Amino acid sequence: MRKQQQESNDGQKQNSENGEIIIWSAEDFQEFEDVEKRFELVWKEDALRNKRVYYDSTSRATQWRKRKAEEELKRHAHSFAKIDTFFQPLTLISSPALVSTSEFTSPLPSSFFSDLQACLEDLSNRCKILKSNNSYDTYEYIQLLSLHQYYQLCLNGMGKMNASLQVAKDFWGKGDYMSRCIRTWGNYFLLNGKLPVYQQGKHTKIECLLDSEEFVNQCQKWLRQQKPEFRLSKELKNYIEETVFPKMTGYIKKDTISEETCRKYMHIWGYKYDEKRKDVFYDGHECPDVVQYRKEWLKRMFNYKQLMKDYNGEMLDEIIEPQLQPDEKEHVIITHDESHFYANEGQKKL
């Protein structure tokens, strides 16, 4: 019976592989029951005591830091002036009839318009003189034209704000900032009779080391004394910090200049990173400077020959002594039969 049941179970599993549903028996679940018996849930009495406590940011240190930050913000806020201190209170008048409109609608004094007219004529003359000069400053010329138009609009009855804003848009293509500049130029020209000094590029700058002739000469002299493979920005950095700066400042300080800065200096002085390679050979024996040097060298050798022994005969066994003066010494020529010179023996990348 059991054999038949097992065969039927095998038949059910086989059918399930063909896509049908498997019907499990009690024996098939026996393995799962054995595994379940191994794991048991056990309650411990001290479970709550071992539970991790949740931190809700209420510790004494945290509260002290928050309170300290709030006190710092309050103390910082008290150091600022209140907004009402920037304005003066107005005296309120109960009756509207007592308000005099003459204070607000009174015309500008006649001296103001006379000054504007004088400035307008002065600006016209300056524009003509500046325009006649071929090398005139364009920025200054546009400044003068802007002030000329600004004064003309003011004379025509337009307010300063509207006049300066219109000139800023027409001449400069800008808005409020340029209009404030035009009003500042106008006030300055009325008081001083000239334009304010252009301050751009005139602020205090840090002196560059390349402006120091002593620094440049020492560095270039050191670079010329080094072999090409040792002309490195790192070596130049060490030389500057250990030798040049102590001579110029009197004390040694490390890390005062970077390798990148030294590399830029070397590029400015004409050095560049390159690689040794074979190149075309040009015969320069007949160059003018080579020919001139060869002639001078021959003259010197003929003068030396008179101070050296000469040899004669078929076997060169006859020695002719030189005729020396009392203050002359005999010269001996030293020669060698072979010379080997190899190029590109050192480091290739320099």
Q: Where are the domains of the chain?
A: 110-192, 210-268, 281-334
pTM higher than 0.75:
no
The pLDDT of residue 26:
76
Q: What is the average per-residue pLDDT within 294-318?
A: 88
Does residue 105 surpass a pLDDT of 50?
no
The pLDDT of residue 135:
63
Q: What is the rounded CA–CA span in Å between residue 237 and residue 24?
A: 84
Task: Bin 313: left if φ > 0, else alpha if -120 < ψ < 50, else beta.
Answer: left
- The fraction of the chain above a pLDDT of 90, given in percent, is 7
- Residue 246 CB neighbour total at 10 angstroms: 13
Average pLDDT, the chain: 76
Residue found under tokens 């039927």: 8
Judged by average pLDDT, the poorest of 7-11, 102-106, 205-209, 341-345 is 102-106
> Nearest 5°: phi and psi at 349?
-90, 120
Q: What is the rounded CA–CA span in Å between residue 186 and residue 129?
A: 20
The pLDDT of residue 281:
61
Does residue 102 surpass a pLDDT of 60?
no
Judged by average pLDDT, the poorest of 13-17, 133-137, 217-221 is 13-17
The pLDDT of residue 325:
87
Banded model confidence at residue 219, pLDDT cuts 50, 70, 90: very high
Chain center to CA of 117: 50
Please return the burial class of 145, using the count of CB atoms within 10 Å of its CB with bins 0-12, 13-18 and 19+.
middle
pLDDT tens track for 181-207: 989 888 888 888 888 887 776 666 667
Q: Under 8 Å CB-to-CB from 172, ≥6 apart: which residues?
A: 142, 146, 178
> CA 175, 177, 183 angle in degrees (round to 5)?
100
